[in-house]
Structure 1
């Protein structure tokens, strides 16, 4: 019985830590499924293990003096994927935007700060928002954050306003 329990814990640990592994392959649909030619482009992707990250993110938000509403927004997040792209180009970003438009993502906000553009797009079904994509564009470096959860339009607006106020 102890052996069975040990094997179960080992499998559970491996499955849990698997999401912590950093990969050189893209984890966002457009980049992994499009057949697009990414010559010279370097990808780094990882899935954020939320059971580990949520307490640290909440603590950091509180220490930064963020509103409790923004801290409570963390409860609604179910999955986060991050992809960094080095040596990307403007054409790739335009094709990515077209891909999102074709897949019913709406452009909600573009924030410009110190030469960087932050773009927020959401996929909405009625009043429910299940997916939010954040793109940070800084010359040749790009960061894509895919946030999944169950949000309302008010949640996303509060998040955008809290960022744009600073």
Structure 2
């Protein structure tokens, strides 16, 4: 029985850590389109294993002096995917924005900080927000964060306000 338990725990740990593997294939829908010419853009993507990440995120927010409300928002997150793009073009970013508009994402905020633009878009179904896309656009790199969870408009507003105050 002890051997079975060890094998089960090993398999569980391997399956949990598999999502930590970094890939050069895009993990966000628009960038997975094989028919689109990305003109030499280089992708790095990974899925964040929430089981492992939530405690670290909460600890980091508390250490940074964030409000307990913001820390509690982490509980509502079910999945995070991150994609970085090197050598991305403005044309590609504009096509991505059109794709999001066609997919019914609403532009909620654009925050400018040290020459970088941070854009927050959400997909809302009634009062429930199940998906939030955050885009960070700097001169040399693009970062896309796809956050899935169960949020309210108030949750997203609190998050935006906490970051725009800084």
Consecutive unaligned residues of structure 2, counting only runs of 5 or more, are none
Contact 1:77-1:147 within 8 A present in 2 as well: yes
Task: Please report the TM-score for the alignment, with normalisation by the length of structure 1.
Answer: 0.96
Moved over 4 A (4+): none
Deviation at 1:33, TM superposition (A): 2.8
Q: How does 1:81-160 map to 2 (within 5 A)?
A: 81-160=81-160
Deviation at 1:163, TM superposition (A): 0.4
Could you tell me which residue of structure 2 aligns to residue 27 of structure 1?
27
Deviation string for 1:97-131 (max 9, x for gaps)?
00000001000000111111000000000000000
Task: Please report the TM-score for the alignment, with normalisation by the length of structure 2.
Answer: 0.96
Cα distance in 1 between the residues matched to 2:10 and 2:158 = 41
The farther-off stretch of 47-56 and 33-42 is 33-42
Deviation at 1:2, TM superposition (A): 4.2
Consecutive unaligned residues of structure 1, counting only runs of 5 or more, are none
Deviation at 1:3, TM superposition (A): 4.2
Cα distance in 2 between the residues matched to 1:127 and 1:86 = 36
Question: Aligned with 2:57: secondary structure?
Answer: helix
Quick check: 1:16 aligned with 2:30?
Answer: no
Could you tell me which residue of structure 1 aligns to residue 73 of structure 2?
73
Cα distance in 1 between the residues matched to 2:34 and 2:110 = 25
- Aligned pair count reads 166
RMSD of equivalent CA atoms: 1.2
Cα distance in 2 between the residues matched to 1:71 and 1:2 = 38
